[in-house]
């Protein structure tokens, strides 16, 4: 419960909410972690060789054309940054070598074309 309280206190920070109704669900479609921010669902799929961010607007794929994103991975005191580029209809992706595991935290700064930047926080389970 203290993590939820902390998330609520962080201004502009998104957090996962399980019990609300907008007519769409926040279930992962690609095996990742889903967080909603500014009515947009962001699904982070992080592996040892790629980081992908899938974007949905009210349950429908949102275009990532012209979008920019940077993801910061936090493993204890170790910090790794990756710049993601559009890689399909609603996908942003970076390839490389990434340290990802249970307990890894990720912060994504995403700017979709014509929208204000959004900061999204993820906790990888």
User: What are the tens digits of pLDDT across the range 54-82?
Assistant: 999 988 999 999 999 999 999 999 999 99
pTM for the structure as a whole: 0.80
Q: Mean pLDDT over residues 83-92, rounded?
A: 96
Helix (H) or strand (E) holding 86: strand 78-86
Helix (H) or strand (E) holding 5: helix 2-9
Helix (H) or strand (E) holding 24: none
Tell me how far apart the alpha carbons of residues 44 and 51 are, in angstroms, rounded to a whole number. Answer: 7
Tell me how far apart the alpha carbons of residues 51 and 35 are, in angstroms, rounded to a whole number. Answer: 15
């Amino acid at each position: 419960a203290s993590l939820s309280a902390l998330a609520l206190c962080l201004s502009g920070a998104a957090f996962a909410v399980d019990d609300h109704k907008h007519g769409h669900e926040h279930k992962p479609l690609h095996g990742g972690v889903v967080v909603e921010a500014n009515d947009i669902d962001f699904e982070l799929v992080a592996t040892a060789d790629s980081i992908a961010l899938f974007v949905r607007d009210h349950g429908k794929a949102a275009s990532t054309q012209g979008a920019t994103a940077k993801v910061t991975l936090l493993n204890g005191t170790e910090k790794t940054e990756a710049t993601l580029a559009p890689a399909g209809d609603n996908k942003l992706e970076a390839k490389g070598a990434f340290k990802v595991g249970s307990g890894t935290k990720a912060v994504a700064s995403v700017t979709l074309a014509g929208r204000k930047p959004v900061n999204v926080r993820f906790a990888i389970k």
